[in-house]
């Protein structure tokens, strides 16, 4: 059965809310609550980048040890990706996230009490395990609330939390570091998840059918739109479960995301240290300066996602943004400490472009993979793809220790992004007939 054979979704009754009001309700309620939740998660994952200059001195870390402590998070992150996605798909995304919010809050606070490099390594690993299932669970949630014609924008608006968390937390982290120390920073920001647990439980529903705040006609309208897409994908579903999970499309998506994260996290964790080494700045001033690339990244994410949805095209948007990012990481490596303004400008553009790839990239799995395996596949992609978050910081730290600068490290990140851009063009595109506008 194909989508062409399905009846068009029924329009809501005339005396009820229109699809426009439905759209606003979904975007405000589902995405804003998810946005704040994952902003907090990303703050607790990345605030160590601001704390690192103080931590390395107090704990006696060299650049290689620091890179390993930063990156070990992603080995823990790997462990709960597939189970988290599976539980979200077959049990409840809402409850999976609620449990993990509690666990990562405890781990983040405990990181502020470490006394040795080994203890830091352990706590970063545990924090990764606790956060591991959140990303695939929210992707499952978004796919259940936003049809294909909206999905890149929905993904991008939610994923704005990634650059936004740096924009929000860097000045706060700089202020906490300036008035107290890195321990206070990690403990205070580690308490944030507990403040958002109740709003998450009250506002989020797993399915539109469970949303009491939606009119019956609105729920049915959205249900039919999403059901039509699911039926069209199921009509092409002929592989076994594991054959579908290990499909070449999934493997290529995983490789792309791995290389993309090498570039993203390799720069994220080391930019504050690189800027601090090149200038005499207070912690607060450094915090404000570090926000610049992530403000630009937020703008780029929205613009690219809108274009991707309008054209219903994902591969070239993903490849193009990754290519641009690689070019400007290479430019930053060439400029180096001799031309700090040019180097920082290039890093801003490179960071913006690598984040702009997220919206179209994460629309692809839900549009090209079998519905029964898509959650598990997204967990697999995110799990192994996020190991790039380990290798990127380690590679940059290795080159920084060996050569005393960041030029070679940023050049290595550029190479990873060039390969990921080429791989993106090998992906099988989604069929445009799958698009249904609610």
358 near 374, Cβ under 8 Å? no
Phi-psi region of 51 (alpha: psi -120 to 50; beta: other; left: phi over 0): alpha
* CA trace torsion 197, 200, 202, 203 (10° rounding): 160
Cα of first residue to Cα of last residue in the chain, in angstroms, is: 20
What Cα–Cα distance (Å) separates residue 12 from each residue in 3, 18, 21, 197, 435? Answer: 20, 7, 11, 33, 19
Across residues 311-318, what is the average pLDDT? 91
Tell whether 147 is covered by a domain.
Answer: yes
pLDDT band at 15; cut points 50, 70, 90: very low
Tell whether 6 is covered by a domain.
Answer: no
Residue of higher predicted confidence among 12 and 185: 185
- 83-140 pLDDT, tens digit per residue, is 888 899 889 999 999 999 999 999 999 999 999 888 999 999 999 999 989 988 998 8
Tell whether 14 is covered by a domain.
Answer: no
- The pLDDT value recorded for residue 336 is 64
- 377-410 pLDDT, tens digit per residue, is 887 898 888 888 888 888 888 887 787 777 788 8
Across residues 174-179, what is the average pLDDT? 86
Residue 313: CA count within 13 A, CB half-sphere: 9
Residue 429: DSSP 8-state: P
* CA trace torsion 106, 107, 111, 112 (10° rounding): -20
Per the structure block, which two tokens stand in for 124? Answer: 């970063």
Per the structure block, which two tokens stand in for 402? Answer: 């060996």
Tell whether 5 is covered by a domain.
Answer: no
- 349-382 pLDDT, tens digit per residue, is 998 999 999 989 988 887 888 777 777 788 789 8
43 near 287, Cβ under 8 Å? no
Across residues 39-57, what is the average pLDDT? 86
Across residues 325-330, what is the average pLDDT? 91
pLDDT band at 309; cut points 50, 70, 90: confident
pLDDT at 180 over 70: yes
* Number of domains forming the structure of the chain: 1
Percent of the chain with pLDDT over 90: 32
- The pLDDT value recorded for residue 434 is 47
pLDDT at 14 over 70: no
Give the whole-angstrom CA distance, residue 35 versus residue 164. 9
pLDDT band at 19; cut points 50, 70, 90: very low
Across residues 134-161, what is the average pLDDT? 86
- The pLDDT value recorded for residue 102 is 96
pTM score, two decimals? Answer: 0.71
Give the whole-angstrom CA distance, residue 331 versus residue 18. 49
Tell whether 221 is covered by a domain.
Answer: no
pLDDT at 4 over 60: no
pLDDT at 278 over 80: no
pLDDT band at 141; cut points 50, 70, 90: very high
Residue of higher predicted confidence among 215 and 236: 215
Q: Which domain holds residue 327?
A: 22-207+244-429
The set of residues, in sequence order, having a beta carbon less than 8 Å from that of 341 and lying 6+ positions away, is none
Give the whole-angstrom CA distance, residue 253 versus residue 259. 10
Domain of 126: which CATH number? Answer: 1.20.1250.20
For residue 374, give the nearest of 116, 166, 172, 90 by alpha carbon: 90
- The pLDDT value recorded for residue 326 is 93
Percent of the chain with pLDDT over 70: 83
Across residues 299-325, what is the average pLDDT? 92
Per the structure block, which two tokens stand in for 296? Answer: 């630009």
Greatest Cα-to-Cα distance within the chain, rounded to the nearest angstrom: 70
Residue whose token pair is 């090998």: 426
50 near 186, Cβ under 8 Å? no
Give the whole-angstrom CA distance, residue 400 versus residue 417. 20
255 near 263, Cβ under 8 Å? no
Q: What is the pLDDT of the chain when averaged over all its residues? A: 82
pLDDT band at 13; cut points 50, 70, 90: very low
Residue of higher predicted confidence among 169 and 412: 412
């Amino acid at each position: 059965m194909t989508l062409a054979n399905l009846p068009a979704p029924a329009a809501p009754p005339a005396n009820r809310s229109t699809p426009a009001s439905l759209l606003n309700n979904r975007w405000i309620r589902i995405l804003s609550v998810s946005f704040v939740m994952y902003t907090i998660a990303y703050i607790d994952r990345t605030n160590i980048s601001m704390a690192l200059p103080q931590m390395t001195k107090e704990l006696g870390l060299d650049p290689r040890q620091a890179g390993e402590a930063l990156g070990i998070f992603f080995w823990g992150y790997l462990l709960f990706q597939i189970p988290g996605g599976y539980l979200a798909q077959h049990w409840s995304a809402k409850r999976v996230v609620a449990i993990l919010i509690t666990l990562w809050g405890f781990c983040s606070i405990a990181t502020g009490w470490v006394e040795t490099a080994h203890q830091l390594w352990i706590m970063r690993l545990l924090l990764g395990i606790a956060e591991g299932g959140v990303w695939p669970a929210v992707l499952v949630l978004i796919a259940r609330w936003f049809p294909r014609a909206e999905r890149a924008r929905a993904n991008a608006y939610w994923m704005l939390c990634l650059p936004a968390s740096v924009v929000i937390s860097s000045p706060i982290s700089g202020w906490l570091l300036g008035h107290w120390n890195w321990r206070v920073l990690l403990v205070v920001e580690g308490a944030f998840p507990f403040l958002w647990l109740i709003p998450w439980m009250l506002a989020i529903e797993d399915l539109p059918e469970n949303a009491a705040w939606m009119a019956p006609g609105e729920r049915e309208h959205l249900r039919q739109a999403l059901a039509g897409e699911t039926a069209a994908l199921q009509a092409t579903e002929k592989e076994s479960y594991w054959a579908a999970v290990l499909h070449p499309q999934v493997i290529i998506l995983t490789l792309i995301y791995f290389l993309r994260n090498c570039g993203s996290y390799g720069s994220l964790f080391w930019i504050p240290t690189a800027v601090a080494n090149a200038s005499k700045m207070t912690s607060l001033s450094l915090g404000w300066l570090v926000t610049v690339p992530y403000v630009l990244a937020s703008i780029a994410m929205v613009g690219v996602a809108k274009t991707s949805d309008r054209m219903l095209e994902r591969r070239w948007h993903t490849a193009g943004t990754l290519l641009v990012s690689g070019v400007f990481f290479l430019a930053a490596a060439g400029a180096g400490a001799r031309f700090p303004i040019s180097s920082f400008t290039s890093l801003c553009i490179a960071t913006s472009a690598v984040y702009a790839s997220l919206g179209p990239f994460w629309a692809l799995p839900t549009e090209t993979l079998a519905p029964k395996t898509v959650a598990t596949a997204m967990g697999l992609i995110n799990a192994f793809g996020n190991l790039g978050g380990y290798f990127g910081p380690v590679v940059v730290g290795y080159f920084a220790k060996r050569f005393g600068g960041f030029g070679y490290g940023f050049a290595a990140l550029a190479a990873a992004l060039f390969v990921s851009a080429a791989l993106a063009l090998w992906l099988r595109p989604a069929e445009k007939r799958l698009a249904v506008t609610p």
